[in-house]
Structure 1
Amino acid sequence: MLTVETIRKIKLAHGRDGKTIGQIVKDFHLSRNTVRKVLRSDATRFEYHRTVQPMPRMEGFTGWIVEQLEHDSRQPKKYRRTAKVLYEQLQGRGYEGGYDAVRRFMRRWREEAGLKAPDAYVPLEFAPGQAYQFDWSHEQLEIGGLPMAVKVSHMRLCHSRFPFCQGFPRETMEMVFEAHNRGFDFFGGACGRGIYDNMTTAVSKVLRGKLRELNPRFEELCAHYLVEPIMCTPAAGWEKGQVENSVGLMRKRFLAGRTKFASIEELNEYLLERAVGWAKSQQHPELRDKTVWEVFEAEREMLIRPPKDFDGYRLEHCRVSSTCLVHFDRNRYSVPCEAAGKVVQVKAYAGRLKVVEGGRLIAEHKREFGRDKTVYDPWHYVPLLDRKPGALRNGAPFTSWALPEAIERVREVLRRYDDWDRQFAGILTAVPSHGLDVVAEACRMALSQRTVSKDAVLSILNRQQDDELASEVSIPSRLELGCMPVADCARYDRLLRGAYAAQ
């Protein structure tokens, strides 16, 4: 194979230096035919292209492969066999050649049959505030010292190209809602259209063409933000190519060299900081005289601003157990004891849970994402202490209960008595009606008076309540009579006559 440099030296030796073909042959150790070919041609580069690929081991098997390929071409794409599968089937029929020969034969056959379309795409253009693209990616990171598969949501404005990404522990419906709320909060509004793939949290069923049966809650989200959802064609990632590029941008630029974070919140702050820094330094691909951040600032004025965030929760109905717990997502959460045995509604948000019974909020907890964890609120069990005071000794909700210092000191003093649990339970049951701070102050007064008991604390609470009621009655400093009294001593004589008459 002649290199470009050798061809250049041959032409210079003949055209500039006036050397003959024989001299060039001796100087470069080439054949005369090679030198003549270079001098007679205007080409500056010679390449060899193989027109026929010999495949001797494929003889006798090509007919069977063609039959299988023709059969597969009439099947849906997801049921067509790959080159690897056909190669393994060929080996079962006695084929001793390599896999590469089978792959090249299948590719050439598909090209000749017109089954392989060229990779060509139509460039897309979007007006300010017209559309955004949304997608998920899965990243293997270390969160809090433990390996974790973090689900990262990507939302990218199509006009300004600004990428907004946030990490979540799951990819469920409530996480989709939270990702949109955070994105639209940062952008300052929503676009007219949202471009999605056919994620199961948004699409219940893929119908013919562009028709989709959407999840009702996802439709509520789009209606709240006045967004028209556009679902991509299956396996057509180029229809949302910008957000696909955002995934690579995050992996190669934002997370390059750093995969350890103390929490998901720290990860999200880091991703937002890197996204803003990238946008302020990156030139816009179309508006060359502006950065991505400058175009984004201008696009903000074109976004639709909703009055408030979408109430993004996933609703489930659960029955409260006899231990006042609801089971949700492999974990347990306490509710007030009055709801034991009832069916309640659990509203699952991205980071918290709300429990509703009869349209009334009865409990709220921070959401846990592990397994087999139990989250207690000890105040949910306090009404039971009136009948079961012994639960204070070994009750699971009370083992690590942090109470105000004064109440803790009262408990330590009461431990000297045999019925300390009953007395302390009586003090705790007064908290719902009086308030924790008021009961703590009553405990401090009892400790200062050295009269620590249930009756003493309740007496102080009752006196405080009576004082508050008395202070609410206003007595004027000067009383004025509307009718002045008149002196009449004869009234006494009349009263005496009436008394004698009665005898």
Structure 2
Amino acid sequence: MELFERIRRDRRVDPSVSQRELMKRHGVSRRTVVQALSSALPPPRKPVNGRPRVLAPVEEFIDEMLRSDVTAPKKQRHTIERICQRLAREYDFREASYSAIRDYVARRRPEVTAEVRSGQGVVEGMVPQQHLPGEEAEVDFHDVTVELAGKKVVCYQFTFRLSYSGKAIHRVFASCGQEAFIEGHIEAFAVLGGIPTRHVRYDNLSPAVTKVLLGRSRKETQRWLAFRSHMGFDAFYCQPGSGGAHEKGGVEHEGGRFRRNYLVPPPVVETLAELNKRLARIDATEDIRHVHGRLETIGERFAQEEELLRLVPDEEFEPGTVKTPKVRRDCRIVVMQCYYSVPARFIGRKVRVSLRANELLVFDGRKVIARHQRLARRYDFSDHLDHYLEILAAKPGALAGSTALAQARESGAFTEAHDAFWDAAREARGDAEGTRALIEVLLLHRLMPAEAVVAGLRATLRAGSSTPELVAIEARKAIEAGTVAADAPPPISLPEPVLVEDDPDEDEADDGHRAEVISLHARRLLSAGGHPAPQISVYDQLLSKKKGHSA
């Protein structure tokens, strides 16, 4: 087309130019020049007759095999190898190569399938849908890589998306098990302030479905069924396989879009709780975004359906899997082939465990006695140094090589100040007594914030002392001076201790004299009310022989 335009332009600019000159200028034949001058449109090209197709004699036979595959069981359909074998044995055809048959089948199989289903009145395709406010939502998981505490691990992004407004909630969990599945729903319902009134769309996730039955029927897991019944919503399960992805295309696209925009490069965090707080802030900013093809923002459309959602029940649903392991002699329990420490006083007893998506809680009755991040690898362990202090007081030599101390150092709970105090105490008192002095300091974490204890350690070291009592006094001074927050959560102590308020009369009795320093050992001998220890002299009467009575 461009060549013809240049030839015609040259003749239009200079009508006297000859055909021979036009041939020389454009390097074409006389025939091409004549065609260009006679018409602006090039003549159509003649079809090229290629080589005869090698599969032409057996194409109909191959098509017949593909037609039978449309209604055949999924795992009993023709492979390329099987087609080659049948062509050789039944039709004595061996001229075509494996790759030629493979390419032909790849092109013809979808065409044959469409032809068969069209003859049956069924055509594969998609029908655009209209979603009413507050009625429907979609859920899915997506793999994400996170640099968690210095290690790259594969986690799972839970996405809950309202179909009408497009408002989505995203959370990242260590697993895609039932605990994460239920916990993601609880978090989404809490943020949205309600539950869709019609149904929520799912593919056939194992946390919800144990068996795919005929049509849309599914056999659901008991715990998932109980959760749906508690919350009061219905589930819509999509078709198995890739075809079902189109039935919840909104959440499929949303999960990938969010991962590309906010999780690239892989986020670097210490805990998944820190990451989920970041994702919650991002979800809030997404309200000003426009979904493609809509004039209203996500936040404006969500405002229309927010009041139409069903209220969330007041009664909470326990998202974790409940187990009752027995505490072993090493202060550990075994949950899902992973090891978690609990306080030493529970050795030999059974405790109740709530295994959640990202954490594990250990209960004694209704009281939380231990809290751990959930472990993902088999045979991994999580030990808290505070759980072993009572044992270490009797076996101080076991502290140096303990796994609990190594993990406390790695997490930063056992600081350089602790190490310096330990060295000073061992040098002054010997290894055993020096370690016991350190344990006295570690016990302070149950009563005071970590920052206050560290401040007390540094002040004691500056004074050239290694006395636990002085650490307690200096830590209390740091709290009273306001240099550390008195209500800061202790990192080692779990659960949080109940603090007994000081007697106000003690402060009013200050008459200018310095108060007597009471050692930690002496304080333990006093009762909670400050009363003196009971006298046992009255029991001596039982040993004396009364008159008139025989011994």
TM-score, shorter chain, exceeding 0.5: yes
Give 1:444's match in structure 2, choosing from 456, 465, 469. 469
Counterpart secondary structure, 2:372: strand
Q: Which amino acid aligns with 2:136?
A: A
Say if 2:422 and 2:438, in contact at 8 Å, map to a contact too: no
Q: Which amino acid aligns with 2:469?
A: R
For the pair 1:393 / 2:397, whether they are aligned, the reply is: yes
- TM-superposed CA distance for 1:168, in Å, is 2.2
Aligned to 1:122: 127
Aligned to 1:247: 255
Aligned to 1:462: 525
Aligned residues: 449
Q: Which amino acid aligns with 1:444?
A: E
Counterpart secondary structure, 2:54: helix
What do residues 219-244 of structure 1 show as CA deviations (whole Å, max 9, x unaligned)? 23323332211111212211111111
Cα separation, partners in 2 of 1:429 and 1:209, compared to 1, 3 Å: same
CA distance in 2, matches of 1:153, 1:275: 13
Cα separation, partners in 2 of 1:427 and 1:145, compared to 1, 3 Å: closer
Q: Which amino acid aligns with 2:311?
A: R
Q: How does 1:281-430 map to 2 (within 5 A)?
A: 281-282=289-290, 285-286=293-294, 288=295, 290-306=296-312, 307=314, 310-356=317-363, 361-384=368-391, 389-395=393-399, 396=402, 399=405, 412=425, 416=429, 420=433
For the pair 1:217 / 2:223, whether they are aligned, the reply is: yes
Say if 1:284 and 1:292, in contact at 8 Å, map to a contact too: no
Say if 1:55 and 1:101, in contact at 8 Å, map to a contact too: no
Bigger Rg over Cα: 1
Task: Name whichever of 356-365 and 169-178 sits farther off.
Answer: 356-365
Cα separation, partners in 2 of 1:89 and 1:310, compared to 1, 3 Å: farther
Q: Which amino acid aligns with 1:458?
A: H
Give 1:173's match in structure 2, choosing from 174, 178, 191. 178
Identity value in percent: 22
Say if 1:143 and 1:261, in contact at 8 Å, map to a contact too: yes
What do residues 338-358 of structure 1 show as CA deviations (whole Å, max 9, x unaligned)? 543455443111222123467
Aligned to 2:99: 99
Cα separation, partners in 2 of 1:350 and 1:83, compared to 1, 3 Å: same
Counterpart secondary structure, 1:174: helix
Q: Which amino acid aligns with 2:134?
A: G
Say if 2:63 and 2:112, in contact at 8 Å, map to a contact too: no
- TM-superposed CA distance for 1:30, in Å, is 8.1
Counterpart secondary structure, 1:57: coil
- TM-superposed CA distance for 1:333, in Å, is 0.8
Aligned to 1:229: 235
Aligned to 2:536: none
TM-score, with normalisation over the residues of structure 2? 0.63
Cα separation, partners in 2 of 1:53 and 1:210, compared to 1, 3 Å: farther
Aligned to 1:198: 204
- TM-superposed CA distance for 1:197, in Å, is 0.4
Aligned to 1:164: 169
CA distance in 2, matches of 1:302, 1:45: 65
Say if 1:110 and 1:116, in contact at 8 Å, map to a contact too: no
Cα separation, partners in 2 of 1:350 and 1:296, compared to 1, 3 Å: same
Aligned to 1:111: 111
Say if 2:208 and 2:220, in contact at 8 Å, map to a contact too: yes
Q: Which amino acid aligns with 1:328?
A: V
Aligned-pair Cα RMSD in Å: 5.3
Q: Structure 1: any 5+ residue segments left out of the alignment?
A: 471-503
CA distance in 2, matches of 1:38, 1:329: 84
What do residues 40-88 of structure 1 show as CA deviations (whole Å, max 9, x unaligned)? 99x99968889x9865332565476356435533422354345588579
Aligned to 1:482: none
Task: Name whichever of 170-179 and 311-320 sits farther off.
Answer: 311-320
Cα separation, partners in 2 of 1:410 and 1:295, compared to 1, 3 Å: same
What do residues 237-289 of structure 1 show as CA deviations (whole Å, max 9, x unaligned)? 11111111213322444446x33433545654555555555541425634x2x
Say if 1:190 and 1:303, in contact at 8 Å, map to a contact too: yes
Say if 2:359 and 2:372, in contact at 8 Å, map to a contact too: yes
Counterpart secondary structure, 2:134: coil
Cα separation, partners in 2 of 1:358 and 1:139, compared to 1, 3 Å: closer
- TM-superposed CA distance for 1:183, in Å, is 2.0
Counterpart secondary structure, 1:467: coil
Say if 1:279 and 1:291, in contact at 8 Å, map to a contact too: yes
Q: How does 1:133-144 map to 2 (within 5 A)?
A: 133-140=138-145, 142-143=147-148
- TM-superposed CA distance for 1:103, in Å, is 3.2
TM-score, with normalisation over the residues of structure 1? 0.69
CA distance in 2, matches of 1:419, 1:218: 54
CA distance in 1, matches of 2:403, 2:149: 26
Cα separation, partners in 2 of 1:280 and 1:446, compared to 1, 3 Å: closer
- TM-superposed CA distance for 1:169, in Å, is 2.3
Aligned to 1:58: 55
CA distance in 1, matches of 2:189, 2:431: 60
What do residues 290-339 of structure 1 show as CA deviations (whole Å, max 9, x unaligned)? 22222123322222332365421123343433322112244311124454
Counterpart secondary structure, 1:222: helix
Say if 2:405 and 2:414, in contact at 8 Å, map to a contact too: no
CA distance in 2, matches of 1:44, 1:152: 57
Counterpart secondary structure, 1:209: coil
